[in-house]
Chains A and B, each alone.
Chain A
């Protein structure tokens, strides 16, 4: 399955809104949190992070789409979809600090570091795994329509 640009964006929004929301709703309750942060605070951070991933994701997809124009198959290995967690994770972390969603330093010593890392990487992994198979069952037409969500 090779997605179209529109398919990439629709898939991302759909998966963030389903798998992403369900996973975040669960994991936010059990994430390690520093003493100063309440559970409510953690939910505030993780759901805002999810929203940011959706909005920024559109820009990311445009960039990825552009890069793939250089490739004959207009797509890249599925594994790269997992590896983009690195660039997107770094940008999300920095942006959430810049937007004051996360308090304190954005450096390595941040007390929110492990909370964010676990949240971001597990959410990313859950979405990616879902896209590798189960999504094709939930949205039968997904793979035929270049990643578009047509139920």
Chain B
């Protein structure tokens, strides 16, 4: 039986997550989950897992129940991300719970990666095993697990689990055959022989996240009809994975992203900018003053996360995103004999007569986001050995229980990493202190940045362990002279250059800088520099011990209740099944940074198939000629380059001045395309 993950937020209280595996009532005084909200009826609603998914049923409550704002009558099937409101309490449906993975030899065989939305990533889940719920209760004393279950992957798109729970294939067959897997280039006949139905569509984008969205937005504005484009995705909305990662790393809707005013993924012109829109909406000149004086007289303006999400959703509706969306997980993309490609999709279980569907496309765009996220090796080893997902967490997975526990009782937390995620986590911990928690923070780093680095022409600010930079790359790497420089470099030279203008940096914002200064002064925030030797349970089994070798050769033991890995290590593209297959079969190669080697138009070099072209954008195309490829700016820039290239190939119109102005005016009025 599938279990479902639900997050509950009562008025004025922290969020809590719970798992629903059988009918569960919610109310002020019911037999199920008690909700602390006077507006909620004694027995308010029920959550009911049925074959198709999780349903919500209102139990004739006094104030009613809504799903995404619409009142509930009868049983409503919840979609991932749906918001159910009862009284002033909100429920968010997170999707099916991932099931544990058997790990025969935990310490060695457990994969060291966290899988992302990753169509094609190996998300294993044997049917029938029980799903562990993430509870707020600390686990019993820690001991190495024998052949116990180890949940080694974190599905960032919960629905992914569904695809792996399929038992025997549907009756109709239509699966990938040995013959197909063995052949890199497929003929139509080969696919027909396997019984896989073929759907024709000129352009297919794989991923359906922000990278796909940016391209589709450009193409629709360039006049490509919706029926010429298919988005193969596990997501319903383009910002879903982004929002998941942001929320896991404690960036809520009201918080600001590390992005600039003009990099609007929902507006190809970047005008009106986020700052202008915010200024008009909130009737204040402050955002405009920021963009006019940044970064000298004020900090860089950053948009609010919620504004970015709502903008993307609005634009997605305007361009008919839902009509282009095909639900499913892409398994492989193979060149087609005679030109173009086959994109093989696993549709949702029970959705069609066959196990796979092939899209036959002339153009394929791959934008699947991070291939994977990794834990620091010592932490991964600890998690795999001791099966402890309570005390050692990744900033990119849901770990609200850490803050809840620290809010309840004093504790020590180790934060690792010095990037944007780390500074946000530290900010969140400091917020807890402001509300009265007694948390001790130990910030553990391998190296200390204790001042500005670089020469007079290349001086990057830094201090207190952090290298400061408002964005992932120095700003001029997006369009200015640093990008020009990157365009002239090849191979290892370019990789080295990108490292020198990128690397691990964070945005120096006054708020958290002040908080940490206070923490240093009051002694609750401490920086520890050194190499981690080993991470293991403390003798009493109630905390985690990190052995650190410091610069002078001595060893320090850090005893902590929690460790948060905020390094955000990105995995190799080999971690991703689809990308790995492309390397093996399509002629794609990697650049010196280990990502797909793309040309200036984001075409993956070596993958041309007759008149077909394969493009990639986002994280998988990092390390190329555009340094910030994996950013809002980067995926938009890539979309423009790809769109221009497709115009040269005759697929769409070139967006010139007249079309640009006319389309902009439509955007301003919200006229659908």
User: Which of A's residues lie within 8 Å of B, judged by CB?
Assistant: 1-5, 7, 69-70, 72-80, 133-134, 136-141, 143-147, 151
Contacts and interface: CB of A to CB of B under 8 A. Distances in A.
Given A140-B640, A143-B270, A76 B296 contact: yes
Contacts of B270: 1, 136, 143
Given A1-B479, A73-B476, A133 B272 contact: yes
A74 B481 contact: yes
A79 to B, nearest CB: 4
- Chain A facing B: main interface SS: loop
Interface in B532-581: none
A43 B472 CA distance: 49
Given A134-B271, A137-B664, A138-B661, A78 B476 contact: no
Interface string B643-663: 000000000000111001100
B479 A72 contact: no
B482 interface: yes
B392 interface: no
B404 to A, nearest CB: 39
Contacts of B637: 144
A81 B479 CA distance: 18
A63 B549 CA distance: 50
A139 B479 contact: no
Given A77-B295, A137-B269, A144-B637, A151 B479 contact: no
A74 B480 contact: yes
A78 B260 CA distance: 14
A74 B476 contact: yes
B479 A77 contact: no
B293 A3 contact: no
Interface stretch (B134-142, B407-415, B454-462): B454-462
B273 interface: yes
A78 B269 contact: no
Contacts of B655: 140
B271 A4 contact: no
Given A70-B457, A136-B269, A137-B661, 11 more contacts: A72-B458, A74-B476, A77-B293, A78-B293, A79-B293, A133-B271, A137-B269, A138-B661, A140-B657, A141-B640, A151-B657
B503 to A, nearest CB: 13
A1 B269 CA distance: 12
14 contacts: A2-B475, A2-B476, A4-B481, A4-B484, A74-B482, A75-B475, A75-B480, A79-B292, A133-B273, A136-B270, A137-B660, A139-B657, A143-B270, A144-B479
Contacts of A2: 475-476, 478-481
B276 interface: yes
B60 to A, nearest CB: 53
B14 to A, nearest CB: 38
B232 interface: no
Contacts of A139: 657, 660
A78 to B, nearest CB: 5
Nearest to B297: A77
B456 to A, nearest CB: 7
B4 to A, nearest CB: 43
A141 B294 CA distance: 23
Interface string B391-431: 00000000000000000000000000000000000000000
Interface centre among A5, A141, A144 (most CB of B within 10 A): A144
Contacts of B656: 151
A4 B483 CA distance: 9
A124 to B, nearest CB: 15
B476 A140 contact: no
A30 B495 CA distance: 57
A56 to B, nearest CB: 22
A134 B294 CA distance: 20
Given A2-B475, A137-B660, A140-B640, A146 B456 contact: no
B276 A133 contact: yes
B214 interface: no
B474 interface: yes
The 4 lowest CB-CB distance pairs between A and B, nearest first, are: A2-B480, A74-B476, A2-B476, A79-B292
B474 A74 contact: yes
B268 interface: yes
B35 interface: no
A63 to B, nearest CB: 16
Nearest to B664: A137
A146 B481 CA distance: 8
Contacts of A138: 657, 660-661
B640 A144 contact: yes
Contacts of A137: 269, 271, 660-661, 664
B460 A143 contact: no
A142 to B, nearest CB: 9
A4 B480 CA distance: 5
B291 interface: yes
Nearest to B483: A146
B516 interface: no
Contacts of B469: 72
A101 B433 CA distance: 68
A74 B484 CA distance: 12
A55 B225 CA distance: 46
A76 B296 CA distance: 7
